[in-house]
């Protein structure tokens, strides 16, 4: 594997794209970083920076025709997936084409393809008004969830327990849908977990299961992950078959695919999947366990280069947890982090912290690596809760 001298377009320059940009530079790749201007940490790393809206597919295609890249990719964001798919198709690059990336962005198209291929997923219906949702809810006779077809970050997602919940949930979902498309589906009860599927030439070369640490339902927003999953041995065979069918149904290719599952009483069912790596430190967590650099893998896949994977994990069990607070102000102090935890804090004392669109602030993360995985998730969560509770902010 060698990306030396090849041109690679990386879409996004935020905090979660920084490791991808740095890895490309370390590999000797000519990294062309594309982003709107702003206070994005990846811009300082970029040897070649192109100011452009990465969600504007035509603008990205025009830029690609100038750069003539050997590959294009992103990580931890969905806003530019259609831009990537268009460039892959028009310039005959390795990766997932426009039909695939647009299906990953639209939960409706995704669900149609999964159901048509027999992939286990929640029963659903596209609804045009609240009455459609009420009909589905009454016929289903159980909790449901209403969501926009094309939003990310769980915006506009609401759990439905009573029929009175349907109308406000529909209106909320509609507000967050760019396409004006809303769906209702059965609520899947069970443990949420995930997988990273390394896909080369349409074939799943490696499947890595991981635990998810999420906020409480209904939104289940990931705040941390652990690897290996404690029940990997009993799950891996069934999950692999599901993933193979799901990848084929969407046409995912030459990427690391992030896949969300619920372990129901009837077995694992897919919530959704996409054609890029997961966020919330998933490349670091899965890479630490397998002894593989997931950022480097994703770059080699995007460039169409052959990858080499170990037959068994060569690293250590570990987990990472974001440090999140839901109030803003001037950062005054936080308790000292236990020496056993590696960590990164994104803000300095005295810096003003501002809530994001999800009404929270991601202050950094902690990671715990051990030979014995038995108590990693519990100890990690306890430390994360202790630290976030200790954060002192000055008044606005």
Are 239 and 210 spatial neighbours (Cβ–Cβ below 8 Å)? no
Asked if residue 117 belongs to a domain, the reply is no
Residues 175, 196: one domain? no
Say yes or no to pLDDT of 23 above 90: yes
Residues 214, 287: one domain? yes
Asked if residue 128 belongs to a domain, the reply is yes
- The reported pLDDT for the residue numbered 308 is 95
Say yes or no to pLDDT of 1 above 60: no
Q: What is the pLDDT of residues 144-189, one digit of tens each?
A: 999 999 877 678 899 999 999 999 999 999 999 988 999 999 999 9
Prediction pTM value: 0.95
Residues 212, 258: one domain? yes
The pLDDT of 2-22, averaged and rounded, is 93
- CATH at 384: 3.90.1170.30
**Is 92 exposed, middle or buried (CB count within 10 Å of its CB: 0-12, 13-18, 19+)?**
exposed
Please, what sign has the CA dihedral across residues 338, 339, 340, 345? positive
Asked if residue 373 belongs to a domain, the reply is yes
- The reported pLDDT for the residue numbered 155 is 81
Asked if residue 193 belongs to a domain, the reply is yes
Q: What's the rounded Cα separation, in Å, for the pair 296 and 293?
A: 5
Q: What's the rounded Cα separation, in Å, for the pair 134 and 20?
A: 45
Say yes or no to pLDDT of 319 above 90: yes
Residues 193, 182: one domain? no
- The reported pLDDT for the residue numbered 218 is 65
Asked if residue 13 belongs to a domain, the reply is yes
Residues 136, 228: one domain? no
Average pLDDT, the chain: 95
- The reported pLDDT for the residue numbered 26 is 97
Q: What is the pLDDT of residues 204-241, one digit of tens each?
A: 999 999 999 998 776 778 999 999 999 999 999 999 99
Q: What is the CA radius of gyration of the chain?
A: 21
- CATH at 234: 3.30.470.20
Task: For residue 284, give its domain range.
Answer: 189-317
Q: How many domains in the chain? A: 4
The pLDDT of 304-331, averaged and rounded, is 97
Residue (of 334, 386, 391, 338) closest to 360 by Cα position: 391
The pLDDT of 22-38, averaged and rounded, is 97
Judged by phi (left if over 0) then psi (alpha if -120 to 50, else beta), residue 46 lies in beta
Residues 218, 171: one domain? no
At 42 the three-state DSSP class reads helix
Q: What's the rounded Cα separation, in Å, for the pair 135 and 96?
A: 37
Q: What percent of the chain has pLDDT over 70?
A: 98
Asked if residue 384 belongs to a domain, the reply is yes
Residues 306, 324: one domain? no
Q: Give the domain-ending residue among 283, 301, 317.
A: 317
Q: What is the pLDDT of residues 285-313, one digit of tens each?
A: 999 999 999 999 999 999 999 999 999 99
Q: What is the pLDDT of residues 90-142, one digit of tens each?
A: 999 999 999 999 999 999 999 999 999 999 999 999 999 999 999 999 999 89
Say yes or no to pLDDT of 2 above 80: no
- CATH at 36: 3.40.50.20
Asked if residue 239 belongs to a domain, the reply is yes
Residues 148, 205: one domain? no
- The reported pLDDT for the residue numbered 74 is 98
- The reported pLDDT for the residue numbered 160 is 95
Q: What is the pLDDT of residues 334-360, one digit of tens each?
A: 999 999 999 999 999 999 999 987 789
Which residues share a beta bridge with 50? Answer: 34
Residues 99, 37: one domain? yes
The pLDDT of 251-268, averaged and rounded, is 98
Q: Give the domain-ending residue among 131, 158, 186.
A: 186
Residues 161, 256: one domain? no
Say yes or no to pLDDT of 333 above 90: yes
Residue (of 73, 79, 95, 106) closest to 7 by Cα position: 73
Which residues share a beta bridge with 321? Answer: 224, 366
Asked if residue 389 belongs to a domain, the reply is yes
Residues 354, 308: one domain? no
Q: Give the domain-ending residue among 317, 340, 359.
A: 317
Start-end of H helices in 68-203: 81-90, 98-105, 107-116, 130-140, 166-176
Say yes or no to pLDDT of 190 above 60: yes
Residues 278, 267: one domain? yes
What DSSP element (H or E) covers 239? helix 232-250
Q: What's the rounded Cα separation, in Å, for the pair 21 and 32?
A: 9
- CATH at 144: 3.30.1490.20
């Amino acid at each position: 594997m060698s990306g030396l001298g090849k041109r690679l377009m990386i879409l996004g320059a935020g905090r979660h794209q920084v490791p991808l940009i740095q890895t490309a530079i370390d590999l000797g790749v000519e990294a062309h970083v594309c982003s709107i201007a702003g206070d994005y940490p990846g811009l300082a790393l970029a040897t070649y920076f192109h100011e452009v809206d990465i969600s504007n597919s035509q603008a990205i295609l025009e830029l690609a025709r100038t750069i003539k890249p050997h590959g294009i990719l992103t990580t931890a964001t969905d806003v530019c997936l259609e831009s990537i798919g268009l460039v892959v198709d028009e310039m005959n690059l390795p990766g997932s084409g426009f039909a695939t990336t647009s299906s990953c962005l639209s939960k409706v198209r995704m669900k149609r393809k999964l159901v048509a291929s027999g992939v286990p997923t929640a029963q659903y219906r596209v609804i045009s008004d609240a009455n459609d949702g009420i009909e589905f809810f009454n016929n289903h006779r159980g909790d449901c969830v209403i969501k926009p077809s094309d939003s990310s970050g769980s915006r506009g997602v609401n759990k439905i327990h009573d029929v009175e919940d349907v109308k406000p949930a529909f209106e909320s979902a509609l507000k967050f849908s760019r396409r004006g498309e809303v769906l209702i589906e059965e609520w899947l009860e069970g443990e949420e977990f995930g997988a990273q599927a390394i896909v080369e030439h349409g074939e799943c070369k490696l499947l890595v299961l991981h635990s998810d640490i999420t906020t409480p339902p209904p939104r289940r927003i990931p705040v941390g992950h652990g690897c290996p999953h404690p029940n990997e041995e009993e799950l891996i065979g069934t999950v692999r078959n599901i993933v193979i069918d799901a990848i084929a149904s969407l046409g995912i290719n030459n990427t690391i695919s992030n896949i969300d599952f619920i372990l129901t009483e009837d077995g694992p069912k897919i919530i959704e999947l996409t054609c890029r790596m997961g966020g919330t430190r998933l490349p670091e967590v899965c890479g630490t366990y397998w002894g593989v650099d997931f950022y480097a893998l994703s770059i080699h896949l995007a460039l169409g280069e052959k990858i080499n994977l170990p037959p068994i994990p060569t690293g250590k069990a570990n987990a990472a947890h974001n440090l999140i607070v839901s109030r803003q102000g001037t950062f005054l102090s936080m308790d000292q982090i236990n020496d056993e935890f590696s960590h990164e804090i994104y803000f300095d004392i005295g810096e003003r912290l501002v809530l994001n669109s999800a009404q929270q602030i991601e202050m950094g993360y902690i990671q715990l690596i051990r030979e014995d995985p038995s108590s990693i998730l519990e100890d990690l969560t306890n430390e994360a809760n202790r630290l976030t509770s200790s954060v002192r902010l000055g008044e606005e």
